[in-house]
Chains A and B, each alone.
Chain A
Amino acid sequence: MAKVLVFIDNPGAAVKKSYLELLTLARSLGEGAVALNGELSDGVAAAFAEYGVNTVVRPSAQDLDDFLVAPKAAYVAAAAETTGAGIVLLDNSPEGKEIAARVGIRLNAGVITDVVAVDADGTAHKSVLAGSYNTACRAKTPVSVVTLKANNVAAEPAPVPSTPETVTVEVPAGSTAAAARITAREQKVASGRPDLTDARIVVAGGRGLDGDFGPVEELADALGAAVGASRAATDAGWISHDAQVGQTGKTVSPQLYISAGISGAIQQKAGMQTSKVIVAVNKDAESPVFEIADFGIIGDVFDVLPQATAEIKKRKG
Chain B
Amino acid sequence: MKIIVLVKHVPDAQFDRHLNGEGYTTDRDESILSELDEYALEAALQLAEARGGSKAGNQVIALSMGPSGAVNAIKKALQIGATEGVHLTDDALSGSDAAATSLALAAAVRYLGQSSTVDLVITGMASTDGETSLVPAQLAERLDLPQVTFASSLEVSGGRLTARRDADTSSETVEAPLPAVVSVTDQINEPRYPNFKGIIAAKRKSITTLSLADIGVEPAQVGFAGSWTAVTNAEERPPRTAGTIITDEGDAGIKLVDFLAAQKLL
Which positions in A face B, CB cutoff 8 Å?
68-70, 73, 93-95, 97-98, 100-102, 104-106, 108-114, 123, 127-141, 178-188, 190, 201, 223, 231, 241-242, 247-248, 255-256, 266-267, 270, 273, 277-279, 281, 285, 290-300, 303-312, 315-316
Contacts and interface: CB of A to CB of B under 8 A. Distances in A.
B102 A105 contact: yes
B200 interface: no
Nearest to A307: B253
Contact of B175 (A70, A104, A180, A187): A180
A110 B97 contact: yes
Given A98-B137, A128-B234, 9 more contacts: A98-B147, A101-B134, A113-B133, A132-B236, A256-B263, A297-B256, A298-B248, A304-B253, A315-B261
B259 A279 contact: yes
11 contacts: A68-B174, A73-B141, A100-B134, A102-B140, A105-B141, A111-B132, A180-B174, A185-B172, A277-B263, A291-B242, A299-B247
A183 B173 contact: yes
B252 A101 contact: no
A257 to B, nearest CB: 11
Contact of B174 (A101, A183, A290, A299): A183
B117 interface: no
Contact of A178 (B138, B146, B263): B146
A216 to B, nearest CB: 13
B129 interface: yes
Nearest to A275: B240
A290 B180 contact: no
B139 to A, nearest CB: 9
Contacts of A181: 174-176
A136 B261 CA distance: 35
Contact of B248 (A188, A266, A300, A306): A300
